[in-house]
Structures are given as structure tokens and as C-alpha cells.
Structure 1
Amino acid sequence: MSKTFTKAEVANFKDEKNGGLYIIVDDGVYDVSNFLEEHPGGAKILKRVAGKDASKQFWKYHNAKVLEKYGSKLKIGTVAETAKL
């Protein structure tokens, strides 16, 4: 069962030495800590968006097939809906 995260919780995971690197793509939360060396664009790019919503950057360079291939291995949860006042 996947976990639900707030954006604030995801923001705490931006350092692989202190808990890991999480990114948000659409409504999914992905732990990319163990994917740094495999990422074709390099670890630096993932570290730059760690703890943030990387949807815009992700879709700029990837298509749905990338999520189909790697998503199930890296997805750890979803982002909770937040009330808009």
C-alpha cells in the first residue's frame, strides 16, 4: 500500500545522506535515491529537483513510457490533496 505525503513532507527529502531524495511527478511521489547512477541525464539533475514537484521538468524531457518502465520501482506514494482557500 502506498503512503500519502504532503508537499512539505516531500520537501524534507532532498539529501541522499539524510533520508533520501524524493520527487513529485504529477500526483506521484518517487524515491530516486537509488536511481542517481542509472539516470541517463546524470545525478546532478535529480539532486536539483529533489524535494520538489518536478512534473514540468520531467514531462519536458520524458514521455509516458519512462514512467511505465521505472515508475513502479520508484513510486512510494502520492501527494495529498490540499485545500485551496
Structure 2
Amino acid sequence: MSKSFSVADVASHKDAESGLYIIIDDGVYDVTGFIDEHPGGSKILKRVAGKDASKQFWKYHNEGVLKKYTDRLKIGSVEEKAKL
């Protein structure tokens, strides 16, 4: 199940046409179909689409929220970032 995505792959999914992907910790989540259901509104998801949203996510949510939606929204994990 666990597909591997590069940060660039996720970054290319930042609008409705290509899908809305976000990174939380090392997981990649497709929030395209969740955008209208998000209790905080669609605006915040659109703002973090294609990016690492870990900091924003953990500021407002706990681990229970992530567990609740993981099966439905998680599509893979982010590849280890190359060290420069």
C-alpha cells in the first residue's frame, strides 16, 4: 500500500486539477475529496496543499485525529530527503 513520493511529487499536487496532497510527518495524504468536509474549512487545506503541513496540523490536532483519517486519506510516505 505504501507508495513512496518525493517532496517534488507532493509539491506538484497543489490544486484541484492535479489533486491536493499534504505531508504530515512522513506520511503523504490526499485531501482532495476531504476539502469540503474539513471542519476548519477548505481555505487552510488549499493553503498547505503540496507542502509539509506537519507544523500546522499538530498545532490544531492530536494523534487521534490523524488515526481517524489515516486509512481514508493516507496514500503513501515521503522519501527520505537528500542530504546536501
Does the pair score TM above 0.5? Answer: yes
Equivalent residue, structure 1, for 2:34: 35
User: Where in structure 1 are there 5+ consecutive unaligned residues?
Assistant: none
Identity of aligned residues (%): 71
Tell me how far 1:62 sits from its aligned partner. Answer: 0.2
How many pairs are equivalent?
Answer: 84
CA distance in 2, matches of 1:25, 1:82: 14
Equivalent residue, structure 1, for 2:53: 54
Cα displacement string for residues 15-44 of structure 1 (whole angstroms, at most 9, x for unaligned residues): 01x220000000000000000111000000
Tell me how far 1:59 sits from its aligned partner. Answer: 0.1
Tell me how far 1:75 sits from its aligned partner. Answer: 0.1
Equivalent residue, structure 2, for 1:9: 9
State the AA in 1 paired with 2:33.
N
Cα RMSD of the aligned pairs, angstroms, is 0.7
Tell me how far 1:2 sits from its aligned partner. Answer: 1.8
CA distance in 1, matches of 2:69, 2:21: 14
User: Where in structure 2 are there 5+ consecutive unaligned residues?
Assistant: none
Tell me how far 1:82 sits from its aligned partner. Answer: 2.1
State the TM-score, normalized to the length of structure 1: 0.95
